[in-house]
Structure 1
Amino acid sequence: MLLCFSSSHRTADFDLLERLERRAPAVKAALAEHSEVISGSVVLATCNRFEAYLDVDEPLTAAVAVSAETVIEAVSAASGVDADELRASSTVICDQGVAEHLFSVSSGLESVVVGEGEIAGQVRRALESARTAGTVTHDLERLFQGASRTSRGVKNRTGITTAGRSLVRLGLDLAESRVTDWAATRVLLVGTGAYAGASLAALRDRGVVDVRVFSPSGRAAKFALSHEIVPVEAADLVAALAGSDLVVTCSAATDPILTAAQLTEAMSLPGALERRLVIDLGLPRNVDPAVAQLRGAELLDLETISRHAPLEELNAAQDARLIVDAAAAEFAAQSAEQSVTPALIALRSHVFDVLDAEIERARARGDSSEQTEAALRHLAGVLLHTPSVRARELARSGGAQSVVDAANTLFGLDVDDVAAPRLRAVGDESAAS
């Protein structure tokens, strides 16, 4: 059974998401230790969600709550977040609801900014990381491959990615009212990763020409050379802050890079600008929240940006949702087909066992030939074809159990029952948002 533990911007504050993101490696290890319940796992940790997709060894409805509680306790122990806090700020989705949720996530429909393009790559990298760790099962692989196909379909067939805007551009949109002339704005960029490149492109689209870059990991010079901007060394960071109208932070560092003490020192330097806007796109936070209390400094962080995210573009979002729903329905249908596979295998084995026995008896009587045997085996395959097709059709329409019952009754087989219908979700994300 598939199960998803989800804590996102819809259900939790950014402080909690930050703590979970920092402890993601420990959570992955903790989930792997519960092999008696969890067959496989893929952990997705992004700037606005923390999710664990699991393949659990329990098909019964009554055990869903037990499995969910095992996951919550494991995440709590590994992250240091109290279990009660996790329960209050997360949802647990199970069975076919997991596909609908992940397909929606990977298509950008659940992002802070609907249609953001970064999430599809993050979902793909989460799968790759799990493959490397050896925690991917067949069902999880199929789930994530389906998510990738769905996100590509949404991107290619709707305008959702252009209707929505990235966090970077939304942050700059919110800064628009504070900036009188982008061309005259002096910017300090903190970070040299993918978000830094996106931030620089967005700044240049607005006409910014004066950009310097600082990297806590020492990569500023290389990034500056490839992007034709000016690097800032650690010793010059405070001076660079003093001369910047806008500071954009987007580093993957786990500790704050800019503190209130640094900003206070920068603002006290001779010739320092009186006011500056700081946009913190980091998770964990790159900027000490106390900066917001300093006179002459304004801070926009991810939590603030998410509260101002625009409403989704209705047509594009509706088209994308239809694609996601169709893909999730197909995933469910394929899963239902797989549920009758044991019955079909048992039926095929039964028929060919009977055929083999009859052929052996014919050989013993001396009245068998290779051509006759080949014809009989072909005939058996032809006779099995229609029942196999019909069985899969019945499974897709919810009749999987009737296939098993018929096979057991008519042919005296002993195929286990199809798992009973299961709850779609324990907790409803839409209700929690």
Structure 2
Amino acid sequence: MLLCLTANHRNASFEILEKLSIGAPQAAAILVNDSDFVSGAVVLATCNRFEAYLEIDGPLTVATAVAVENSVRVISASTGIDPAALRQTVTVLSGDAVAQHLFSVSSGLESVIVGEDEISGQVRRALEQARTARTTSSGLERLFQKAANTSREVKNQTAIGGAGRSLVRLGLELASSRIVDWSRTRVLIVGTGQYAATTVAAVRDRGAEDITVFSPSGRASRFALRLGLTASVDLIAALAAADVVITCTASAAPVVTAAHLSPLASASTQRRIVIDLGLPRNVHPDVASVPGTELLDLETISLHAPLEELTATMDARALVDNAATQFAATTTEQQLTPSVVALRTHVFGLLETEIDRARVRGDDDGRIEAALRHLTGVLLHTPSVRARELARAGKGDSFNAAVTALFGIDVPAETPAASDLRDLQA
């Protein structure tokens, strides 16, 4: 069974999201190793959300409750957030609702900017990190791969991402009301990751030509060479020369503070816009108090998020709903596999007994054996088809009950390997 613990810009403060983004990503291994019920965990942490996707053994209510409580305890220990505050913040999803939610998230439908481009890549990297940490599971692999396929379908078949909307682009839109000519604006980008590369593209789309990059980790030169920028190793000098500063690093502590900018403000009448896209914050809030400096952080930017484009969003949600329905049906079919295999094993066991009897009675040419095998295949065809139909209709339990009631078969709890099923169907 799948579970999701989610905290995002709709149900959590930016302060809590900031703490979760720092400490919680390392919790996946602990969630798997310290629980008797959790068989897999993938943690997704972005600037606007934290989510822990779990696969637990069995659909038991007690397993779900224990897994949730253990997850809250582990995440609390990793982030320093009080367990009670964490319980009040996170929303717990289970079963089919998990797929519906992740498919919506990966398609950009749950983002601050509906249809943003970056989230699908962040979802993909969350799965890759879980693979590296060996915390993923077969159920989570299927879930995240289907999420990737769904986000591609939404991007290719709807207009929801057509405008290339993202947090950085919205931040630039807000800044543009203060900037007369981007081509004459000196821009400093602090950071050299994928988000920084996206930021460079967005700034250039605005017409900016004078772009400098600074890296707290010392990677500015290589990044600048790759994208045709100017690299700086002196943050103070780079800040002094910039009209617009955009920060987007993975630093756990603020990179730009009032102490950096105050001396610059007293020595110049230049106005400066600082756009902080980092979570944790890359810019200390005290920067807003520096004369001549305007700070646009994630909280401010999200307040100006545009309204959804109704038609495009409706089309995208229809695709997500369809994908979630298909995923649920496939999952239910797999849950019925033990019953189908048990029934086939039972019937084929009876078949072999009758074939042995026919051989003893003198069936030397194999005609009776062939007839019996054909009859068995015909008889099993309809139950196999009905199993899939009932699974897709959400009535899989009735098939399990029928198999037990009619044939006295105890259906095993474990799903047999795919190779076992193919052998029985041969």
TM range (shorter): over 0.9
Name the amino acid aligned to 2:230.
V
Which residue is 1:96 aligned to? 96
Contact 1:391 1:400 in 2 (8 A): yes
Measure, in 2, the Cα distance between the counterparts of 1:319 and 1:341. Answer: 34
Name the amino acid aligned to 1:262.
H
Contact 2:116 2:164 in 1 (8 A): yes
Judged with a 3 Å threshold, the aligned counterparts in structure 2 of structure 1 residues 226 and 367 are, in CA distance, closer, same or farther, namely closer
Correspondence 1:265 to 2:263: yes
- Helix, strand or coil at the partner of 1:44: strand
- Helix, strand or coil at the partner of 2:286: helix
Correspondence 1:71 to 2:71: yes
Which residue is 2:123 aligned to? 123
CA displacement at 1:96 relative to structure 2 = 0.7
Which residue is 1:256 aligned to? 254
Correspondence 1:337 to 2:333: yes
- Helix, strand or coil at the partner of 2:51: strand
- Helix, strand or coil at the partner of 1:340: helix
Contact 1:359 1:368 in 2 (8 A): no
% identical aligned pairs: 60
Equivalences for residues 183-202 of structure 1 within 5 A: 183-202=183-202
Contact 1:164 1:312 in 2 (8 A): no
* RMSD value, Cα: 1.8
Equivalences for residues 318-357 of structure 1 within 5 A: 318-357=314-353
Name the amino acid aligned to 1:150.
T
- Helix, strand or coil at the partner of 1:160: coil
Correspondence 1:361 to 2:327: no
Judged with a 3 Å threshold, the aligned counterparts in structure 2 of structure 1 residues 403 and 208 are, in CA distance, closer, same or farther, namely same
Which residue is 1:52 aligned to? 52
Measure, in 2, the Cα distance between the counterparts of 1:226 and 1:149. Answer: 30
Q: Between 61-70 and 23-32, report the one with greater CA deviation.
A: 61-70
Which residue is 1:409 aligned to? 405
- Helix, strand or coil at the partner of 1:162: coil
Equivalences for residues 200-211 of structure 1 within 5 A: 200-211=200-211
- Helix, strand or coil at the partner of 1:178: coil
Measure, in 2, the Cα distance between the counterparts of 1:353 and 1:408. Answer: 16
- Select 2:285's aligned residue among 283, 289, 311: 289
Judged with a 3 Å threshold, the aligned counterparts in structure 2 of structure 1 residues 164 and 229 are, in CA distance, closer, same or farther, namely closer
Measure, in 1, the Cα distance between the counterparts of 2:88 and 2:292. Answer: 37
Which residue is 1:421 aligned to? none
Which structure exhibits the higher relative contact order, with contacts defined as CA atoms closer than 8 Å and separated by 6 or more residues? Answer: 1
Judged with a 3 Å threshold, the aligned counterparts in structure 2 of structure 1 residues 412 and 58 are, in CA distance, closer, same or farther, namely closer
CA displacement at 1:370 relative to structure 2 = 4.2
Name the amino acid aligned to 1:127.
L
Measure, in 2, the Cα distance between the counterparts of 1:155 and 1:45. Answer: 22
Equivalences for residues 289-328 of structure 1 within 5 A: 289-328=285-324
Name the amino acid aligned to 1:316.
A
Deviations 1:307-354 (A, max 9, x none): 111111111001000010111111111222222211111110010000
Contact 1:158 1:319 in 2 (8 A): yes
- Show structure 2 runs of 5+ residues with no match: 415-426
**How many residues matched?**
414
- Per the normalisation by structure 2, the TM-score is 0.93
Deviations 1:277-317 (A, max 9, x none): 10011111111111111121111111111111111111100
Measure, in 2, the Cα distance between the counterparts of 1:240 and 1:344. Answer: 68
Name the amino acid aligned to 1:390.
R
Q: Between 162-171 and 117-126, report the one with greater CA deviation.
A: 162-171
Name the amino acid aligned to 1:257.
V
- Show structure 1 runs of 5+ residues with no match: 419-433
Contact 1:254 1:284 in 2 (8 A): yes
